[in-house]
Amino acid sequence: MKNYQTPRGTQDVLPEESYRWQQVETAMRQLCRLYGYDEIRTPIFEDTDVFKRENDSSDMVNKEMYTFSMGEGDSLTLRPEGTAGVIRSFVQHKMYGRSELPVKLWYKGEMFRHERPQKGRYRQFNQFGIENIGLKSPLIDAEVIALGYQLVKNFGLSQIKVLINTLGDAASRSAYRAVLKEHFKDAVEELCPDCKRRYQQNPLRLLDCKVDRDHWSMQHVPSLQDSLTEASKTYFKEVLAALDALKIPYEVDEKLVRGLDYYTDTVFEVVSTHPESGSQSAVFAGGRYDGLVEYFGGPEMSGVGFALGMERLILLAEAEGIILDKKPDCDVYVMALGEVGEVPLELATRCRKAGWITECNLVPRSLKAQFKSVDRRKAKAVVIAGENEIQNHQITIKHILTQRQVTVDLTQLEETLAAMLKEEGE
Ligand code: ATP
Ligand code: MG
């Protein structure tokens, strides 16, 4: 017999775990409401070109994409990230002309990357992300970082830090590329195959290499700071000043270049400093992109955003000992004794209408077995529909904690339970 299992790098979210996922999702939704972001849902697959842009040197695009064709001359790719699809949609629906700028969007959903699976690194994983599109201001960059930071803080993560850097504008970057080409000229032959490719395609990405981190050529790399235009320097200073004003602690990390090629000016990564996070320490990351809207055929427009790894957020919360939501205990358990027909189901339905989490015994079972279920579901109150009582149009209601028990008329179900459930806190 074949042993059916989840594919490598994927996982089932089991019922007992789904509550913490819902908790994270609820927190995200609420925060986006406060910041005025609207949800957008784009397809899980797109034309490959949406992700694979000309001359893109990132690993994600070059090595990690799930690309397939259905033989219709098309090439499709399971989305490895959210931004490209959102910008494609922004342009396709001409959102820049319909709404006030900036357009503020959030998304969440599954992303797919063919990576080597490890703790906190999967082939199917979930991201929550935001995109703020249409205007450029250092204050917007700071506000975007603040939203992500607040989410992680609200969740209770304490061991985190914001790493931030600027890649400068187009002029700064092209000047810096030339400097890097010169610096790595004699080293490139000794570097990993990816670095050789990066040297040709986009030398900036050399600084993001995880393999050659300790190579001599990586030790005294000329700083991008020296290639920055005055405008870019000022812009970055203003981002930092805004973070100071918002009391968001950060560290300027001149080596931070981020994995994707489309970033300009501000880039950031929020990492966990918890010992268990290992090399999967980035919780969320993002930056500003200047050319992307135009690339997809829209007007010249800047945007900024980040994506947060939801699995990583949950793992880190657990590592920090934060108690996450679990299945809620039940308020009421309806027991059935003897030939009572559909009465228990009717009673349970009334309880649910009243807003109580209710379980109901729907198959013939002994009293003992039913009390076991009451225990297991940690019910606060029990409604007992016994044969004799039902004949008299009555039910017995028992409060588990106080052991108080009353027999009342069937019509008094809701008011009796309401009073009893209130007792609990006393
Ligand atoms: P890393 O350096 O860890 O590979 P990345 O730069 O590829 O991250 P981004 O593309 O910026 O990551 O994605 C944003 C966030 O999504 C990351 O900070 C991380 O929390 C999460 N993430 C990225 N790849 C994975 C993955 N394979 N499995 C789980 N989460 C991931
Ligand atoms: Mg990666």
What is the mean pLDDT, run by run of 10 residues, along the chain of 426 residues? 95 96 97 98 97 77 91 93 97 94 98 95 98 98 98 92 93 90 92 89 83 89 91 97 97 82 90 84 94 95 97 93 93 94 96 98 94 96 94 95 95 96 69
Element (H, E) at 333: strand 332-337
* Ligand 1 centroid – CA 63 distance (Å): 14
CATH code: domain of residue 40: 3.30.930.10
pLDDT of residue 223: 87
State which of 11, 163, 308 you would mutate to test the pocket of ligand 1, scoring each by most atoms of that ligand within 8 A of its C-beta.
308
73 and 142 belong to one structural domain: yes
Tokens of 363: 């198959």
Helix (H, G, I), strand (E, B) or coil at 352: helix
Ligand 1 pocket residue status of 58, Cβ below 6 Å? no
User: Do the domain assignments include residue 36?
Assistant: yes
pLDDT of residue 84: 95
140 and 34 belong to one structural domain: yes
257 and 382 belong to one structural domain: no
CATH code: domain of residue 352: 3.40.50.800
Residue position matching structure tokens 């950031």:
268
* Ligand 2 centroid – CA 222 distance (Å): 25
What single letter denotes the amino acid at residue 288?
R
Last-in-domain residue among 319, 345, 376: 319
pLDDT of residue 261: 67
**CB-based burial label for 14 (10 Å; 0-12, 13-18, 19+):** exposed
Residues 389, 386: Cα–Cα separation, whole Å: 5
Last-in-domain residue among 268, 297, 319: 319
User: Do the domain assignments include residue 162?
Assistant: yes
- Nearest alpha-carbon partner for 76 in 108, 124, 103, 44: 44
pLDDT of residue 424: 59
Cα dihedral 126, 130, 131, 136 in deg (nearest 10): -140
Determine the atom of ligand 1 nearest the C-alpha atom of 283. Answer: 20
256 and 402 belong to one structural domain: no
User: Do the domain assignments include residue 253?
Assistant: yes
Range of the domain at 103: 15-169+229-319
260 and 402 belong to one structural domain: no
Query: What CA–CA distances, in Å, run from 401 to 197, 374, 416?
Result: 68, 12, 16
Helix (H, G, I), strand (E, B) or coil at 92: helix
119 and 239 belong to one structural domain: yes
Last-in-domain residue among 263, 291, 319: 319
Ligand 1 pocket residue status of 81, Cβ below 6 Å? yes
Residue 386's DSSP bridge partners are 337
To 5 degrees, how large is the angle CA 249–CA 243–CA 204? 85
Neighbours of 3 (CB within 10 A): 4
- Note the maximum CA span of the chain: 95
* Domains in the chain, number: 2
User: Do the domain assignments include residue 186?
Assistant: no
Residue position matching structure tokens 């090399």:
279
pLDDT of residue 426: 47
Name the pairing type of β-strands 282-289 and 303-309: antiparallel
401 and 297 belong to one structural domain: no
